[in-house]
Chains A and B, each alone.
Chain A
Amino acid sequence: MEKIIEIKNLSYSYPDGTAALDNVNLSVFMGDCVGILGPNGAGKTTLLLHLNGILNGNSSVKIGGLTVDEKNLSVIRSKVGLVFQDPDDQLFMPTVFDDVAFGPVNMDMGTGEVQKRVDGALDSVDMKEYKERISHHLSYGEKKRISLATVLSMNPEILVLDEPTGNLDPKHRKEFIKFLSATDITKIIASHDIDMVKSICNKVAIMDKGSIAAFDTKENIFKNKDLLKLHSLY
């Protein structure tokens, strides 16, 4: 199998001195779905921000064999679809259509292709009738679903999702999970939703205090009750 993400000895401190990542190592293979669990402040979001070069620790992240650095940035960003935790950060255009079209337009696609991408992406999150709606009038859950559509329209090879099921109602949470398990794109999902991780991920990483405390198959991780207890996940 092909290694699609390779993180080696990654450490990162925020400009104010907070050490958020401490010697993180992680390899993800094509088609994997990796769940990242861990308490608040463990460094999950910080780790995800390294996957498309928004943060740059010490150039030790490789995506599809390419080092994440200044000169590979545009290629990497078209491969990695990152969805932020807060949908008000993700949705910055006046209408839903403009937002979902933002990525494809930046990838220099023609009008017809952009329309097709937008329709497809909105369809897969069950939001087709919302095309002309204005983003700030939407409910939080609706914003979350559109946020996912904004990267699906770019046809990424890797989906990186930060807390995607937060505030979704049970019906849409279930549909969301169904949609994610149906796509065979490589996925990295940071979440507190243990049931979701259990049902769609095949591998689980546990983060605590900036490092990876454990990384194994889902079965092995959830079997190990002592480990889960140690990191307040059980």
Chain B
Amino acid sequence: MQHSYIDKYAGLDSFLHGLDPRAKVIVSFIFIFAVVLSNPTAYLSFALYGLALLILLAVSKVPSSFVFKKTLIVIPFVALVALSIPFMKGKDGLALFTGILIKSYLSIFCMTMLTSTTKFPRLLKAMERMKVPSIFIMIMSFMYRYLFVLIDEFHRMQRARDSRSLGRVGRWDTVKVLSNIIGVLFVRSYERAERVYLSMCSRGFNGEIKTLD
């Protein structure tokens, strides 16, 4: 179907793509820590961090429009949270707000670079070898696998609705139908989870997560 995948460009061939995923994970986390822990008004270092990411982006051959779009998608959520900050602190609330905005943007940018230069399954394998708890890896791998099934299902239902509504939908109808779709989607996901669990049990799963090696 037509949605873009998180790691759509992870199959490219560049210096960044070829690096050991473990190195990339470690560097990304150090980077994010450095960003998060820096002073909210340290604009010079923010600029340097941003510059470093832009250089990496250029090296990686990943289309910059893809990365910028991906990073922008997440900003509204962060902004919504950050919006409450100016009201909390009297004096330097606004500075704190811009600080948080920049910091989260840089962090998301960094994560986007990581996921668009490393195939997700390899990322998971790397984390497994770095002794990340297996339950955490299992959850991430299910997220990766079923996010797309869910999005596909959503698109299919939307299309089914559009093809039956003859183009005469008011805004209120849209809201009503949309909430219906979300409800059905929830039930379907719940039942899917049950069936997937049964299918795991059929292949010998007994609650203990085992991995190769």
* Contact across chains for A74 and B206 when beta carbons are under 8 A apart: yes
With contacts A101-B212, A111-B212, A136-B149 taken as known, whether A89 is within 8 angstroms of B141 at the C-beta atoms is no
The binding surface of chain A is classed by DSSP as: helix
Q: Does B19 contact A (CB under 8 A)?
A: no
Distance of A48 Cα from B164 Cα, bound (Å): 36
Distance of A117 Cα from B141 Cα, bound (Å): 23
Closest 10 A/B residue pairs (Cβ): A106-B204, A103-B203, A94-B121, A89-B195, A136-B148, A82-B202, A95-B121, A94-B141, A54-B198, A92-B196
Q: Does B199 contact A (CB under 8 A)?
A: yes
Q: Does A191 contact B (CB under 8 A)?
A: no
Distance of A86 Cα from B188 Cα, bound (Å): 13
Distance of A150 Cα from B198 Cα, bound (Å): 14
How many residues of chain A are within 8 Å of chain B by beta carbon? 35
With contacts A88-B192, A94-B121, A105-B211 taken as known, whether A74 is within 8 angstroms of B149 at the C-beta atoms is no
Q: Does A60 contact B (CB under 8 A)?
A: no
With contacts A103-B203, A150-B203 taken as known, whether A98 is within 8 angstroms of B121 at the C-beta atoms is yes
* Chain B positions near chain A (C-beta within 8 angstroms): 5, 119-121, 124, 141-142, 144-146, 148-149, 192, 195-196, 198-206, 210-213
- Point out the residue from A52, A105, A135 that lies within 8 Å of B145, measured CB to CB: A135
Question: Which residues 53-99 in A have Cβ within 8 Å of B in the complex?
Answer: 54, 74, 77-78, 80, 82, 84, 86, 88-95, 98
Distance of A91 Cα from B149 Cα, bound (Å): 11
Distance of A44 Cα from B206 Cα, bound (Å): 26
